[in-house]
Structure 1
Amino acid sequence: MTETETPPTSSPGVRVVTRVMPVRIMIANAKGGCGKTTMATNLASYFTRHGEVTALIDYDPQGSSMDWLQARDENLPVINGVAAFQRLAPTTSTKTWSMRVPVSTSRVVIDTPAGLSGNELSDLIQSSDVIIIPVIPSAIDIRAATGFIRDVLLSRAYRISPKPIAVVANRVRKNTLIYAKLERFLKSLQIPFVAAFRDTQFYVRASEHGLGLVDFEQTDAKDMKEWNALIGWVNQHIKALKNNVN
């Protein structure tokens, strides 16, 4: 969010505050182990490295994104974390994170739990502007992704207000039959297949220290090319959202 002050016409001393909602990017897939936290933490790193006031919202009871933040060096660009899975009551709204981040927040990255479905899925879709669905190359994950994408498209929140959706392939080895099957599946969908991330231990090592790809002085050109594809798609839709608001 951002704050602006508007001079009053008749009441000197009255401060008028206008709040602008941040762009909210949700990383989601009902299947566990598909790399949601890797996507979320690297996106948060990218945004804050490029000057955006960024919040990382963790709905996963495992708290992996919050663990990543705790390991992050205090000299790195600040990312504000909210452990949204720690709800005070079962009826707590999914939107309460907005009361727990700085009003200047311009980017919110939402890490979601496995098993996401029903009303909780619909509520998080309603609270998001962009949805990214990571899928890994396995027959089980392809079947699970098919069902989850169907649930997203049929959810009440999405039918009322459709959001940009993209799928990304995660932990891939491109010269394999199962990746070829995954690629054919993703390209057959009616939503964009925007990036494929290779299987590398870099992400494991980076996560142990609260780092993202952009936090390293030197990174592999292949990794940056893969991430630039996703970042380009996200920024395209952020620009479109801003244009719609204006």
Structure 2
Amino acid sequence: MKVIVVANPKGGAGKSTLATNIAGYFASRGHHVMLGDADTQQSSKFWLQQRPPKLPFVATWEIEAGQVPTAKPPKGTTHVVIDTPAGLGGAALKELVQRADKVIVPLMPGVFDMQATHAFLLELMQLTRKLPTKVGVVGNRVDARTIACANLKEFAASLDVPMLGYLRDTQYYLHMAAHGLSMFDITPAQVEKDLEQWEPICHWLDKN
């Protein structure tokens, strides 16, 4: 079973957007997926409740808001995605990292966002130093042509954390969140640019 943890100590970084789209991606590939929402805002849980039954199924993993999951997913589950609360750190982060195959960190291209995430990434790298757990960063709401994007690349490189890709700021994500959809549930021609941005991220997720 593959466990993907989506984490950032800062609220509003795009954790739920990443978590729901990752779950949607795995489901579109025919995997048995569970999505757990430990965030107090419960955005991923709302997404699950809105998801049309005709789409590839994503099961709900009931997690108490603000808590680290302790129970095991049911047998037959192949992929678990966990949306974590803001402020995650310390013992809770350590426990999640030990259970995760991969930790993916969404990051906005702003000075305050990078500053708030700096210590968290250092902690992550220290926790995973002797573990097989992989860590990657995804730039969220990024225009690849801007200085802010260049600063984001430089920031990730300074910490020796792989920058997996960049997701642009588009209304599609808001629309999908409201209707329980992911990028992988929409006609590809409508979201061609966005699917291209997801390719390197999905490749990283699929690797052992």
TM-score, normalized by length of structure 1? 0.79
Separation (CA, whole Å) in 1 of partners of 2:75 and 2:167: 33
Separation (CA, whole Å) in 2 of partners of 1:220 and 1:73: 19
User: Letter of the aligned partner of 1:198 in structure 2?
Assistant: R
Partner of 1:194: 164
Cα drift, residue 32 of structure 1: 1.1
What count of residue pairs does the alignment treat as equivalent? 207
Cα drift, residue 78 of structure 1: 1.1
Separation (CA, whole Å) in 2 of partners of 1:209 and 1:216: 12
- 158, 171, 182: which one pairs with 1:212? 182
User: Letter of the aligned partner of 1:77 in structure 2?
Assistant: P
Separation (CA, whole Å) in 2 of partners of 1:107 and 1:36: 17
Separation (CA, whole Å) in 2 of partners of 1:136 and 1:85: 27
In the alignment, structure 1 residue 80 sits paired with structure 2 residue 59: yes
* C-alpha distance after superposition, 1:37-89 (max 9, x if no partner): 111100100111111000001111111110000011111111111231258xx
Native 8 Å contact 1:37 1:65 kept in 2: yes
Identical pairs, percent: 37
Larger Rg: 1
Higher relative contact order (CA 8 A, sep 6+): 2
Partner of 2:147: 177
Separation (CA, whole Å) in 2 of partners of 1:70 and 1:123: 28
Pair 1:67–1:182, CA change in 2 (3 A): same
Native 8 Å contact 2:101 2:132 kept in 1: no
Partner of 1:241: none
Separation (CA, whole Å) in 2 of partners of 1:174 and 1:128: 29
Task: Name the SS for the 1:168 alignment partner.
Answer: strand
- 42, 46, 70: which one pairs with 1:95? 70
Native 8 Å contact 1:94 1:127 kept in 2: no
User: Letter of the aligned partner of 1:123 in structure 2?
Assistant: E
Partner of 1:168: 138
Structure 2 unaligned residues grouped into runs of 5+: none
Cα RMSD between the aligned structures?
Answer: 1.7
Separation (CA, whole Å) in 1 of partners of 2:69 and 2:78: 18
Separation (CA, whole Å) in 2 of partners of 1:197 and 1:52: 24
Cα drift, residue 162 of structure 1: 4.2
Structure 1 unaligned residues grouped into runs of 5+: 1-21, 238-246
Pair 1:82–1:180, CA change in 2 (3 A): same
Native 8 Å contact 2:37 2:45 kept in 1: yes
- 152, 158, 166: which one pairs with 2:124? 152
Partner of 1:139: 111
- 94, 99, 108: which one pairs with 1:127? 99
* C-alpha distance after superposition, 1:134-182 (max 9, x if no partner): 1001000111121110111233xx3452411111101012232222211
User: Letter of the aligned partner of 1:119 in structure 2?
Assistant: A
TM-score, normalized by length of structure 2? 0.93
Separation (CA, whole Å) in 1 of partners of 2:63 and 2:198: 26
In the alignment, structure 1 residue 34 sits paired with structure 2 residue 6: no
